[in-house]
Amino acid sequence: MKYSLFSLFLFLIQGISLCAQETDSAYLLQPDRVFDGRNMHEHWDVWVKGHQIMDAGESGTLHPTGPFTTLVLKGATLLPGLIEGHSHLFLHPYNETKWDQQVLNESIAERTARAVVHARNTLMAGFTTVRDLGTEGAGYSDVGLKEAIGKGIIPGPRMIVATRAIVATGSYGPKRKNLEHQLVRGAAEADGYDALIKEARTQIGNGADLVKVYADYRWGLETDISEPTFTLEELKTVVAVASSSGREVVAHASTAEGMRRAALAGVATIEHGDNGTKEIFDLMKEHNVAYCPTLSAAEATASYDGWKPGTLPEPVRVSTKRKSFALALQEGVTICMGGDVGVFTHGDNAREMEAMVRYGMKPLEVLRSATSVNAKVFGYGDKIGSIRKGMLADLIAVSGNPADTISAIRNIRLVMKEGHIYSAPLTHSSKNHP
């Protein structure tokens, strides 16, 4: 018997669906402390009604109207829902299946089924929003996944999607030795102003919330060495097209020259930035370009090649990342939290936050990066990333204080997205009628 992709979805959803509360539910949340996206506050309460935060402030100062449920979260910290800055929900860890084999051998149905599970695991880890930066050969499937989550068909984070991403012809994988064979590509190939304009508009027309472009990639004479791909003027063209529709451009760039061109072109963020220099980070700061370092991806791929932290010297890529991150901190560049999840396990997103602390960032700054900073940089700062009146009720509670020990961010006790509770709170609750 043959099954449609829709039937597959129904079967899968029955096994993993989570029960969310009614949209008109109201809660008074009483944790030990509240991180509002910028600062930590002791003895604060937060009042949620429907999709929104109605008020937040010192305990005893809020006055909820109508019926509401009080959730007492002893020993917990309440935070805005975390925002993953660099994810690929249509990929799974490369030590399970190499990237080429995922793109070439896994059907869209299989990859979508995996993405549904990945979305659920991400949400339950406290990440209520993800910026998903390319389906890596799965076309516009991220748009459908985003819509299914938005309609409440499946549980998952709010998605900011890039669809196919744009690469220079011949630069991206899967790489071919026999050019007569036409293979699926991991991103859309486009060259020159007309082709770039058309491809950017095509992706926008198919539902892209932003445009991702590869400013460099491994296509030099030595194929494992990255070199710039698009010229500065080509990158400016993509930025101009996206900007005219109110969208941002993000750039994959790991070389200093690729980063320079991307910054001058006006991209919003540079992803990876492995070989950033003081001059480059100063340029990024001057042009208000944020940096998403993806530290965990470098560590993960190195571990797949046999590296064991603490027992073997750091591989060059990891030590180079460490140096770039330190320079970015030193020069005051805006740093986003994004781990390139999919290279490693979805739901283990906190791994990047822990790496940022190990590489020299203070835990409170990491919390800001994963909430208010990401929200502002991605253009959603008026909706998510902060706990204040009028914001969407994306909230998580964790046991302990992650501003003291960042790994406490893994101790999830409550996940709420737009006022819906997706996890059973380990807490005392009571019904209240003012």
**Six-digit token string for 272:** 């990876």
- Give the pLDDT score at 423: 82
- Give the pLDDT score at 235: 98
Model confidence pLDDT, tens digit, residues 176-200: 766 666 778 899 999 999 999 999 9
- Give the pLDDT score at 17: 41
| Among 22-26, 204-208, 261-265, the least confident range | 22-26
- Give the pLDDT score at 71: 95
Mean pLDDT of the 96-110 span: 97
Is the per-residue pLDDT at 224 higher than 90? no
Question: What is the second-level CATH architecture of the domain 18-81+387-432?
Answer: Roll (2.30)
Is the per-residue pLDDT at 426 higher than 60? no
143 — pLDDT class (breaks 50, 70, 90): very high
- Give the pLDDT score at 177: 67
Is the per-residue pLDDT at 10 higher than 60? no
Is the separation of the CB atoms in 320 and 226 below 8 Å?
Answer: no
- Give the pLDDT score at 310: 83
**Strand locations in 168-221 (E):** 188-189, 211-214, 216-217
| Domain residue spans of the chain | 18-81+387-432, 82-377
Is the per-residue pLDDT at 157 higher than 80? yes
**Nearest C-alpha neighbor of 375 from the set 338, 325, 402:** 338
Model confidence pLDDT, tens digit, residues 326-375: 999 999 999 999 999 999 999 999 999 999 999 999 999 999 999 999 99
- Give the pLDDT score at 21: 47
- Give the pLDDT score at 120: 98
427 — pLDDT class (breaks 50, 70, 90): low
- Give the pLDDT score at 179: 60
Is the per-residue pLDDT at 393 higher than 70? yes
- Give the pLDDT score at 320: 96
Contacts of 189 (CB under 8 A, 6+ apart): 166, 167, 168, 169, 170, 172
Is the per-residue pLDDT at 169 higher than 50? yes
CA distance 102 to 33: 43
**What class does CATH assign to 82-377?**
alpha beta
DSSP string, 154-170: S---EEEE-TT-EE-TT
More confident residue, 171 or 356: 356
Is the separation of the CB atoms in 241 and 197 below 8 Å?
Answer: yes
Cis peptide bond N-terminal to 174, omega within 30: yes
Residue 288 dihedral angles phi and psi, to the nearest 5°: 60, 45
* 3-class secondary-structure state, position 99: helix
**Nearest C-alpha neighbor of 334 from the set 280, 374, 388:** 374
Mean pLDDT of the 105-125 span: 98
CA distance 292 to 254: 11
**Six-digit token string for 268:** 């919003």
- Give the pLDDT score at 220: 73
* Global confidence as pTM: 0.93
- Give the pLDDT score at 5: 38
Model confidence pLDDT, tens digit, residues 24-37: 799 999 999 999 99
Is the per-residue pLDDT at 430 higher than 90? no
The percent of residues in the chain predicted with pLDDT above 70, rounded, is 90
Mean pLDDT of the 215-234 span: 88
Is the per-residue pLDDT at 413 higher than 70? yes
Question: Which amino acid belongs to residue 39?
Answer: N
- Give the pLDDT score at 402: 98
425 — pLDDT class (breaks 50, 70, 90): low
Is the per-residue pLDDT at 432 higher than 80? no
Is the per-residue pLDDT at 411 higher than 80? yes
Q: What residues are paired with 27 via a beta bridge?
A: 48, 69
Question: Which amino acid belongs to residue 32?
Answer: D
424 — pLDDT class (breaks 50, 70, 90): low
**Six-digit token string for 102:** 């995922």
Mean pLDDT of the 40-56 span: 98
The pLDDT mean for the chain works out to 92
Is the per-residue pLDDT at 85 higher than 60? yes
**Six-digit token string for 20:** 């969310």
